[in-house]
Structure 1
């Protein structure tokens, strides 16, 4: 009886199968890029995350490029994806904002931070919100901020460095950059709420690039819970600033939160909802919390490994310090003299980019390099693909700040050095991060001598680079 039923089912399926085959042959096949989408939903996500956490991400990407070429398809974080490699691919990503591509992060990223963050918006919405935020990144505003940055750095070093024989650089730099963001951008004074925010951010950030499965034991689930705690604190701060603004107690130029609230009032009801303000405050905290602290951490690491570079940085910084009175703050003009120090920072960002890469959403069916890329897919770019390319940067593993001299004989081609992105979406906080980095390095170099004491001088990406053990160093006061 069972055999008869099986034969009946097979006979019934034969015409359906033949029909599907005929339809498939009649329809032209889509000329998608080479590669495989892998297991549905998961695809290559676990393989990429594993490569990042074992510091083999560049090797993993290079193997794909060697196998499939500069354009290949894969599946990342539940979405069909196309990896574009090389300066031409980077240019396509950065210069096709709006009509062709929209910024897009993994679903885990927007679930944790919100759908209305600035990097997810396109067109006029993005330009308007960038204008509201970018007002605090203008040179005239930053010039006034350098003295306050100097204050924060001095206070931090007095609290956490002086009198110590050993410190862990990575967690301390995260604390410092977060304190500067809270003070300079959000007007949030030191206290219990600021400490709560710091405590929750490590957990929140760990799940930004993860498979979005919300279970108690998954990293995504843990990050969502941290996000809810932080969102509650930020919402209460927004309520307070809205009340102060309504009562005439604050000027829109006081901080970013007040500026965003004022922006909504000036442009008409509903322009920026409370949810949008909270989403973008959380995003700015995450962006500033990680990227600058990573750059400073790996810059300190590099100076301990390369004594020639260290000596040049020290001479430059001591030359600036000797023209300052005791306790006198750094100024914008002082930072403009730190040219070699910033070239060193640029080379650090080339070898260890703070941001691994990013995504763009395909807004309509497009053709690229002869391949069809359907609407709804995502485009993926990674900074290390070009920044560690020996054809663009000779001897890419060699640390050489002279690559970024204005008279360099081999300047990198456009869209090959992209640690801060490029095009209309280049990081709006680039100059703010530059000021922070230079102020911190000035005080660390002129105030301390140090040696690495980590058992293993390496790092992982989770998803941002993290040195093993937090980069412990032995320190001595210079004077």
Structure 2
């Protein structure tokens, strides 16, 4: 254990230990459900380091499955300083995603870094208000307007950063592409020093999301806090500038996300969202919009390098679409509807490598599931792999089979089995936006380039999101001029 982590653990030991002792002392009432089997482990540390090591070693799926094999579908443990119940299976997922007494609960580090007024943290009427505001920006008639802009950003990016190169490293390029797209559509930011500064800060924000939440020098958490503060100042400045543009008639509600959120009012005509709420949710939108889509597209590239049949089928699909377009004509909303096989490949990639390994909820009251008590204040943890890799749900779960999703849904599987976008009232609000980004990018990528992997070892680690070895360097061959 390195010295900075040891100091961090010592710094939080006393308050967290007192919290654990208080919650452990809570005994079920006679005749009621009992605590789940399992162990809370060592004070403060619990099973946190063990899980983080497994994620970085690409054995996290095995780690959670071993707990299920040992204790069953419901077990107790301690993660990131809080007593936790791990739940497994479709019924458990449904219980988690549709239970109003289990609101989202991010690790303390994520709360501090992302803010406490985000769609991830708020509950009840506040959550519905924020979600409704973001949904205004992501409704279908707005999304139709974004296809052409995304098309232009993808072609520019591939032309400038891929074309003419013999080798490229996919992950950082995909992260920059998705950042450029979302910065344009969220903030109206084109290529500029301000955009570059925000991109650099956002990369550092993610480093401390699942870190020990102690603000000490030289820790990932300290670096992330500082980066988050800088990013907030940038976004707050953009918000004030956009507000002034709206007042002068130089911007419209459909210009970008900030303009949309600033234009929303309640029944009295007052602003629907405060500036702090706009800034916090813009940070979350940046993180979610950049990382999840870039990871999906990176792992699609990774898989297609070794699956010529799937790649050939995708190329055929996109060449057919290209035949109906004029030279240089951008893709349209209707073109995306024709990319059914490509989206099936994307969904199968998400099944095998979900960007979000799992997440937390918090019990706001005593709950019971499958005869076990979940005490008020405890965390509930779910992991996507427990159903994504279940042979009883997905036949031959380790095989790559896009045909599982050929009906464009996971309808063949039990409800709450495919969790790449979550489920229930908090299902990913940007799911359709991610679909547009992915389909447009893959349309040009498979038509313009061939590639093969540079690394013989085809593995990845999670920290906390998946990243392939060395960022996935590939050898590139250009088929057509962008």
Q: Is the 8 A contact 2:33 2:371 kept in 1?
A: no
Alpha-carbon distance change, 45 to 342 in structure 1, aligned in 2, over 3 angstroms:
same
Q: Cα distance, 1:216 vs. partner?
A: 1.4
Alpha-carbon distance change, 196 to 452 in structure 1, aligned in 2, over 3 angstroms:
same
Q: Secondary structure at the match of 1:454?
A: coil
Partner of 2:5: none
The separation in 2 between residues aligned to 1:25 and 1:101, in whole angstroms, is 21
The separation in 2 between residues aligned to 1:67 and 1:195, in whole angstroms, is 48
The separation in 2 between residues aligned to 1:213 and 1:67, in whole angstroms, is 33
Mapped pair 1:375 → 2:353? no
Deviations 1:368-404 (A, max 9, x none): 1111111111111111110011111111110011111
Q: Secondary structure at the match of 1:364?
A: coil
Mapped pair 1:156 → 2:157? yes
Q: Cα distance, 1:438 vs. partner?
A: 0.3
The separation in 2 between residues aligned to 1:455 and 1:417, in whole angstroms, is 30
Partner of 1:315: 316
Partner of 1:41: 44
The separation in 1 between residues aligned to 2:235 and 2:67, in whole angstroms, is 41
Deviations 1:428-457 (A, max 9, x none): 100000010000000000011111112421
Give the one of 60, 67, 78 matched to 1:57. Answer: 60
Q: Is the 8 A contact 1:264 1:273 kept in 2?
A: no
Q: Cα distance, 1:358 vs. partner?
A: 1.1
Partner of 2:34: 31
The separation in 1 between residues aligned to 2:336 and 2:249, in whole angstroms, is 36
Greater mean alpha carbon deviation, residues 42-51 or residues 262-271: 262-271
Greater mean alpha carbon deviation, residues 266-275 or residues 293-302: 266-275
Partner of 1:222: 223
Mapped pair 1:135 → 2:136? yes
Q: Cα distance, 1:251 vs. partner?
A: 2.1
What are the equivalent positions in structure 2 for 1:87-166 lying under 5 Å apart?
87-97=90-100, 100-166=101-167
Mapped pair 1:348 → 2:349? yes
The separation in 1 between residues aligned to 2:239 and 2:381, in whole angstroms, is 34
Partner of 2:73: 70
Q: Secondary structure at the match of 1:475?
A: strand
Q: Cα distance, 1:218 vs. partner?
A: 1.9
Partner of 1:430: 431
Q: Secondary structure at the match of 1:103?
A: coil
Deviations 1:36-69 (A, max 9, x none): 1112222111111111011000000001001111
The separation in 1 between residues aligned to 2:59 and 2:464, in whole angstroms, is 13
Partner of 2:12: none
Off by >4 Å, runs of 4+ in structure 1: 23-30, 264-271, 407-410
Q: Is the 8 A contact 1:403 1:410 kept in 2?
A: no
What are the equivalent positions in structure 2 for 1:257-336 lying under 5 Å apart?
257-263=258-264, 269=270, 271-336=272-337
The separation in 2 between residues aligned to 1:390 and 1:130, in whole angstroms, is 35
The separation in 1 between residues aligned to 2:347 and 2:237, in whole angstroms, is 38
Rg larger in structure: 1
Q: Cα distance, 1:475 vs. partner?
A: 0.9
Partner of 2:205: 204
Q: Cα distance, 1:208 vs. partner?
A: 0.7
What are the equivalent positions in structure 2 for 1:381-392 lying under 5 Å apart?
381-392=382-393
Q: Secondary structure at the match of 1:210?
A: coil
The separation in 2 between residues aligned to 1:455 and 1:403, in whole angstroms, is 28
Alpha-carbon distance change, 131 to 27 in structure 1, aligned in 2, over 3 angstroms:
closer
Q: Secondary structure at the match of 1:120?
A: coil
Q: Is the 8 A contact 2:77 2:85 kept in 1?
A: yes
TM-score (norm 1): 0.91
The separation in 2 between residues aligned to 1:43 and 1:199, in whole angstroms, is 33
Q: Cα distance, 1:249 vs. partner?
A: 3.0
The separation in 2 between residues aligned to 1:268 and 1:218, in whole angstroms, is 45
Q: Secondary structure at the match of 1:431?
A: helix
Greater mean alpha carbon deviation, residues 366-375 or residues 154-163: 366-375
Q: Is the 8 A contact 1:42 1:211 kept in 2?
A: no
Q: Is the 8 A contact 1:136 1:185 kept in 2?
A: no
Deviations 1:102-142 (A, max 9, x none): 11111110100101111111111111111111112222211
The separation in 2 between residues aligned to 1:70 and 1:393, in whole angstroms, is 18
Alpha-carbon distance change, 474 to 329 in structure 1, aligned in 2, over 3 angstroms:
same
The separation in 1 between residues aligned to 2:141 and 2:273, in whole angstroms, is 26
Greater mean alpha carbon deviation, residues 167-176 or residues 180-189: 180-189
Partner of 1:244: 245
